[in-house]
Amino acid sequence: MNNSPIGIFDSGIGGLSVFSELFRIMPEENYLYFGDTKNLPYGDKSKDELIAFSKNIFDFFEYRNVKAVVMACNTTSAIAYNVLKEKYDFKIYPIVQSICKNIAQENYKKIGVFATHNTVENHAYRNELHKYNSDIEVFELACPDWVNIVENSLKYNLVSIGNIKLQLNKMLEFNPEKIILGCTHYPYLLDILKILASDDIFINPAEYFALHIYKDLQEADLLNTHQNFSPKFYVSSDPEQFKIPSEILQKINNNEKIIPIRITL
């Protein structure tokens, strides 16, 4: 069981920000990453669609005998996790529900959240933070263009920078102490965001999330400590379009190109 894979999924390259953090603290685990690029973006899909996509991906991972599935997607964690959580034997880690306890314990009074439409409309972050501290004021703001900006490497173009500035200014009017990047695509915009606002205001949930998963696997005695594996990548549409960011390639194989395997679910 310890050597069994850990499945990670998201709609596209966003969840690689979580994979990157997991790989940093547990490099010896056997990772399978699935990017559901055919159905991207998830941010405006219906609840039924998101449950169906997630179920297909869980089944794909179940068939590969995973010991755990990491829902490295805020949107499906917010919408599909509650429906699917009892249906599988492996561990399931949803990003939103796994990190809010730690953030709520920091005693912040005002927290901002950037996320997709679905995550914002469901108040996934506000509800989860309030479970641990109902005094926190939470302002959630959808940034529907940001996933496209990241997936298509458009972040340095002027229209994108204008869009990022506009959303950030709306957020800063709320005067938050911290801003959670509540969509796994958004940490890829951090280099721009940090020029426009103070450096330490942003929370990349991947850092809390990876630590939570590490501790939980350790407690359950499920860590792999014996064998080394190369991560495997799967997508649901054209593999050539799936561009693994160079900082991640650098970490895993010294910058060699990886073409993921295309899977039809």
16 binds ligand DGL (CB under 6 A): no
147 binds ligand DGL (CB under 6 A): yes
120 binds ligand DGL (CB under 6 A): no
Q: Identify the active-site residue in 26, 32, 66, 73.
A: 73
- What tokens appear for 117 in the block? 């439409």
Q: Identify the active-site residue in 164, 180, 183, 235.
A: 183
124 binds ligand DGL (CB under 6 A): no
Residues 6+ apart with CB under 8 A from 108: 136, 177, 178
75 binds ligand DGL (CB under 6 A): yes
Give strand pairing partners of 112: 139, 179
Is-catalytic flag, 143?
no
∠ at Cα 187 (56, 42), nearest 5°?
30
20 binds ligand DGL (CB under 6 A): no
Question: Are 28 and 224 in contact, with CB atoms under 8 Å apart?
Answer: yes
Q: How far apart are CA 74 and CA 134, in angstroms?
A: 21
* Contact with ligand DGL (CB under 6 A) among 54, 129, 185, 209: 185
11 binds ligand DGL (CB under 6 A): yes
Q: How far apart are CA 30 and CA 263, in angstroms?
A: 19
Q: For residue 193, report the phi and psi dihedrals to the nearest 5 degrees.
A: -55, -40
Q: How far apart are CA 180 and CA 128, in angstroms?
A: 13
* Contact with ligand DGL (CB under 6 A) among 10, 21, 29, 140: 10
* CB-closest chain residue to ligand DGL: 43
For ligand DGL, give the closer residue by CB, 9 or 139. 9
The site for ligand DGL (CB under 6 A) is made up of 10-11, 14, 40-43, 73-75, 116, 119, 147, 183-185
Active site residues: 73, 183
